[in-house]
Amino acid sequence: MKNIIYHLKLCFLTPVFLGSATAIVLLCFTCCPYTDYDINRSYSVLEVIFSESEKLLESSYRFSSICVFGSALDGGYTTTFIPTIAPLSFVASFCACKKSKFTRFEISRTGYFKNYFSRFISAILTGGICVMLGILLFGISVGFLFPDITAYNLSPDEMTRLFPDGESIYIIKKLISAFLFGAFASAPSFILCALCSNAYLILCVPFLLFYVWNTAITKISLYAFENGINTLSSAIPPFSPTAVLQLLYSKELYFIIATSSVILLFFVLSFIGYVLKKKTEIDRGE
């Protein structure tokens, strides 16, 4: 536990961590909370803010602060760039430690396995907390910029449909989902920290990996839908990298088990890959 706290302090007490969270906040402002299907046009948060149109804000409850907050991770630039931004803080810290040659002294005090495991836990926690903090700050921002949901005079049935468990639980689930996705997206960067010291490469490869992965799942789903392969069409969604964001909202047992298994397998393979790479090094303290 002490090792984990130590590594978390190294990651949190840097301008890079706050910079990463700030970058996520800015990306959230590019999300599109509302699409007008009559004219086939989507409105981004920034577009609505700069338009300063009261009529536009009043046109749909989707412009309420809680709905805008809820759209932060609904695709777009945010989920695309999180695999690069979320790991920034721990990658900078790990690379600095590697170059400082301090790792050898650290391993002599804790042992190989404890050192590797504490680094892994601190890495995924840092990535998850970074994304969760960014989404939380975005939510606070839109709370001041957009009207409350009560201003739209929705009926109790509509409110229940939008927030089955209540508004507070809705917000908590969104924050937990943000944490899970941040942790999940940080795993590839962790194993890459063992392969090289080039921070740019460590951060760019996960972006490419998630992009190709998501594109492949999308194309397979589209192919199954167009050809009427219902079995494949219903089986493939849990294997999308963004399925993590739907884990807390799904009521399908298959989706929950499959998505949880993908997350767990992803974490286990990342940790094992890191350990195996370290064990092949002649000097495992470097």
Kindly report the number of other CB atoms within 10 A of residue 268's CB atom: 11
How far is it, in rounded angstroms, from Cα 264 to Cα 11? Answer: 23
Whole-number average pLDDT of the chain: 83
Position 286 scores a pLDDT of 47
What is the reported pTM?
0.88
Share of the chain above pLDDT 70, in %: 89
Taking 80 as the threshold, does the pLDDT of residue 107 lie above it?
A: no
**Structure confidence by residue, pLDDT tens digits, 225-236:** 888 888 888 888
Residue 284: which pLDDT band, with cuts at 50, 70 and 90?
Answer: very low
Taking 80 as the threshold, does the pLDDT of residue 241 lie above it?
A: yes
Residue 104: which pLDDT band, with cuts at 50, 70 and 90?
Answer: low
Position 264 scores a pLDDT of 93
**Structure confidence by residue, pLDDT tens digits, 143-195:** 888 888 888 888 888 888 888 888 899 999 999 999 999 999 998 888 887 77
Position 169 scores a pLDDT of 92
Position 40 scores a pLDDT of 73
Position 285 scores a pLDDT of 47
**Of the spans 135-139, 200-204, 270-274, which averages the highest pLDDT?**
135-139
Pick 243 or 196 by higher pLDDT: 243
Whether residue 145 contacts residue 41, with contact meaning beta carbons closer than 8 Å, is answered with: no
Q: What is the mean pLDDT of residues 260-273?
A: 90
Pick 29 or 14 by higher pLDDT: 29
**Structure confidence by residue, pLDDT tens digits, 41-98:** 788 888 888 876 777 777 788 888 898 898 888 867 888 899 999 888 788 777 666 5
Position 120 scores a pLDDT of 87
Position 129 scores a pLDDT of 93
